[in-house]
Amino acid sequence: MSATGWKQFTPFYIYIAVAVCLISVIGGEGLSRTRIVLLLASGIVTWMLIEYVLHRFIFHYDARSQLGRRILHRTHLAHHENPGKTKPLSGLVLGLAIAPEILVVAWGATGSWRAAFYFLVGVAAGYFYYEWLHFYVHHARPRLKLFRYLRTYHLLHHHQTTELRFGVTSPLLDIIFKTFRPVSKPLLRR
């Protein structure tokens, strides 16, 4: 990966600083460690669902209007045409727009701002893992078998089966929603 490529992770450094600040401000008072871990894990799982729904139903939507097609092309379909091109901060803008809504819904569900913030930190952790992994599978040659599998799985979505394999961080929701197909043979190196 080039130094230029690492600039895409500027939001990651911001996220770490924000997460540390949020956790230090909200502290753990009144919440058990088990509940904190469950809130963080619930946030990560929620991100996985957001990722899947956006990718399957929004980014691959067959828009009828010219404006709709142009928006979809700029937000996602251009990525299918040129997967190696990076779009730094593209998802961060959307994330900043929906974070307050996620926080308010989490507060409504838990009745606690402290719990809602932990949940939001989990959602953000899921999002930044997604950004890192997505960049990694397009710009690196993974050494670990798991990451090689995820790379192949994602590249098959790009190059052979755009109607399948919508999970980038995990094929779990593809299995649940029946858009999973096993990786049967290695994808040619690109």
Is 90 exceeded by the pLDDT of residue 134?
no
- Considering the entire predicted model, what is its pTM? 0.80
Q: How far is CA 113 from CA 16, 20, 30, 118, 123, in A?
A: 20, 16, 11, 9, 15
Read off the pLDDT of residues 10-62 as tens digits, 9 standing for 90 and up.
666 777 787 787 777 777 678 898 999 999 999 999 999 999 998 889 887 78
123, two tokens: 């959602």
Is 50 exceeded by the pLDDT of residue 3?
no
> What pLDDT score does 67 carry?
86
178: left (phi over 0), alpha (psi -120 to 50) or beta: left
Is 80 exceeded by the pLDDT of residue 68?
no
Q: Determine contact, residues 138/147, Cβ cutoff 8 Å.
A: no
54, two tokens: 């956006």
Read off the pLDDT of residues 69-118 as tens digits, 9 standing for 90 and up.
787 667 666 666 666 666 655 666 667 788 899 999 999 999 999 999 89
